Amino acid sequence: MQMNVDIESVFLNEAQEILSDVESDLVLLEQGVDADLLNRIFRYAHTLKGSSAIAGFMDVSEFMHGLESVLNQLRSGTLQVDGRLTDMLLGSFDQVKLMLFGGTDDSGGDAKKRYYVDGLKEYIVTEAEKPGEKPEEEPEGEMKDIGYRYYRVRARFREDIFERGIDPLSIMDDFVSLGSVVEMEVDDAKLPGLADLDPEKCYIGWDVTLKTKSPREKIDGVFLFVKDDNEIILEDVSSRYIGGNDEEKQVEDKKIGEILVLKGIITRKDLEEVLALQDIKNRKIGDVIVEKGYATEKEIHYALREQERIRTRIETETVRVDTKKLDGLLNLLGEIVIGQSAIVRIADQLPEEQGYVLKNALYALDRTTRQFQDQIMSIRMIPIGPTFSQFRRFVRDTARNLGKEIKFEIFGEETELDKTVIEKISDPLKHMIRNAVDHGIEDAAERERTGKEREGHIRLNAYHQEGNVFIEISDDGRGIERDKIRDKAVSRGLLKPGEETADDRLFSFLFIPGFTTADEACDLSGRGVGMDVVKTNIEALRGSVEIETVPDRGTTFRLKLPLTLAIIEGMLVRSGKNVYIIPLLSIVECLQPKKEDIETIEGKGELVRVRDSYISLVRLSDLFGIRAECTNPWESLVVIVESVGGMAGIMVDELMGQQQIVIKSLSGHISDTRAISGAAILGDGRVALILDIHGLIGEMAKKRWIDENN
């Protein structure tokens, strides 16, 4: 019973990933047919069909049979991709998702299923109806092995495997579908005589060698449900079939130019000419090839994807780990760090020589602990690509509903983020992309009137910078109209008539609940809900949002996010008897101001001069209702911090040093305080609150605005 539950759980996790990937791939397929893309989609469908049967979802397996048939005919060239067929395929996979996971509206489920079953049947062409086709010949000589690997599997199944609801023949069929069989042997040594034969038992084993372009992890996935209880041995035997160390045959790091030559898009002579020009101009080879007219941008795009697939064909052994186990490891590591801090305090109390020896040992342990911590964090990091890819269909469908022509581009898919962060940014990203489609991009007629291309562009990009991850949502639409924001702000009493204000403050009004510049609400956006939730969600991740806009040129929303929510480098500071932690990335400098550097201005509160400008002074004693040792700023230390909202000076009694902090989440009323993002346990057992600099500066600005308007 437990095994069935485990199989179902593993299958549902795998199915969720497949359904997400296949949706994005189908949208890409509509933009241009690519044989490798088609094969991947077909393998997804084939895997879903086989795995769903093993996991007991027979209705899904039967439904997938028709879907697989249509995809197979696309592969053979019997069918051609168009918008109507793409809609049918996307809807069919939606139906699979509904059958596996349910939905908010299951009404008419059987009718919807019948609609897609019948719709798929319309596309299925029988063998008699197929036009005569000449099979595609495999290239001769060395070229036929380009990009391929050879794998041999030895599969010996338990005799009672049928009783567990698993069909070994279906599993071997899935394996064979990933490539072409080079050798096959059937082991029937255990096959009894007819009198002793039990049709409910499995006596047959297989030894199969497969030629394939699929990565090792894809092949491992075929045997995911059976490898623990059966004898499954998989080995790479490519060296037996691909001779020597010929790099042209192994193509583990095939260059784009070579890929284009192999596909017959450009000639070897053209490639040599382009390489010579590239050396002179110091430009990307793809740009030079397009400039010379030897290939289109689309062909370069496909070559880049082929290059990436070849690079990722490096064999890796992977294992699925529950994130709760990683969180548990991280918590234990936090306890080790706390223990180390406690030992350092003890070392400080020992005689100098003994304390020195102990501290040296602790420094070595600290290096190992940090390496251990880095390894755990790297396991938690996953590429943002799958999250980005899910928006391809969203943009396609939304643009079609609005009658707009939009090209959606994704960059930085390999950028890695903590899994927890990635899971929480999907909804904010979706809302900002929806705004770009609905409000940012004009319709084709309006774009042509203003001298733009009919097709609008939306770009989603991610990159690492200065210990953070930045995500940009850019469009080339009409831009944000500042006058509309200003008029709306005045009508709501947020600005005085004629009052001038900086762009940062003006754009911040867009994140106020109910604030919208849309003339009328629509089904997609413009109701004044959403952007405030975007800001709240991003700030909950210790992130921030910036807006850049140019009239008639477009708008960029830039999200700044931490790599992880679990650990920060922090500066420990003391105010009175309390210890606080300021994230190191937020600190600009520390100083002790002079008496003449402190000013108090009505409506702005206490200010401290830093070189030629004044910034707000924050007293932690006032913010948290505690007693500080120093009441005069010129007798204390001031930590200058910076965030998107501006700069501030935090008044403290003592700087206690820098430390790597494992963050503990807060609960209760204190978790609602914007100025606090979490807590940490120190080596002496004390709890230190972690300051949220962005929230703290926001609170100061809010307090200032209230004071000014009262």
Separation of alpha carbons 531 and 557, rounded Å: 12
Q: Which has the closest alpha carbon to 708: 505, 556, 568, 559?
A: 505
Q: What angle do CA 491, 497, 503 make, to 5 degrees?
A: 85
Nearest CA to 145 among 111, 120, 189, 182? 182
Does the active-site annotation cover 68?
Answer: yes
Which is the catalytic residue, given 30, 431, 435, 694? 435
Q: For residue 544, what are the CA distances in angstroms to 253, 430, 560, 643, 673?
A: 39, 16, 5, 8, 17
Give every CB contact of residue 75 below 8 A, 6+ residues apart in sequence: 35, 38, 39, 42
Measured distance CA(277)–CA(288) in Å, rounded = 7
Which among 283, 282, 286 is positioned nearest to 271, based on CA atoms?
286
CB of 699 closer than 8 Å to CB of 680: no
Hey, is 189 helix, strand or coil? coil
46 catalytically annotated: yes
β-strands 637-643, 646-652 pairing: antiparallel
* b/e per residue 65-98 (b: at least 16 CB within 10 A): ebbbbbbbbbeeebbebeeebbbbbbebbbbbbe
450: helix, strand or coil: coil
Contact yes or no for 103/19 (Cβ under 8 A): no
The one catalytic residue in 14, 23, 30, 46 is: 46
Query: Is the sign of the CA dihedral 192, 194, 200, 206 positive or negative?
Result: positive
Supply the DSSP symbol for 85: H
Which residues are CB-neighbours of 84 under 8 A, at least 6 positions away?
none
Taking a C-beta distance cutoff of 8 angstroms, is the pair 621, 602 a contact? Answer: no
The encoded tokens of residue 182 equal 């080079």
Note whether 300 and 286 are within 8 A (CB).
yes
Question: Is 669 considered catalytic here?
Answer: no
DSSP string, 543-601: -EEEEEEETTTEEEEEEEEES-SSEEEEEEEEETTEEEEEEGGGEEEEE---GGGEEEE
Candidates 14, 30, 68, 258; catalytic one: 68
DSSP string, 9-22: HHHHHHHHHHHHHH
Which residues are the active-site residues?
Answer: 46, 68, 435
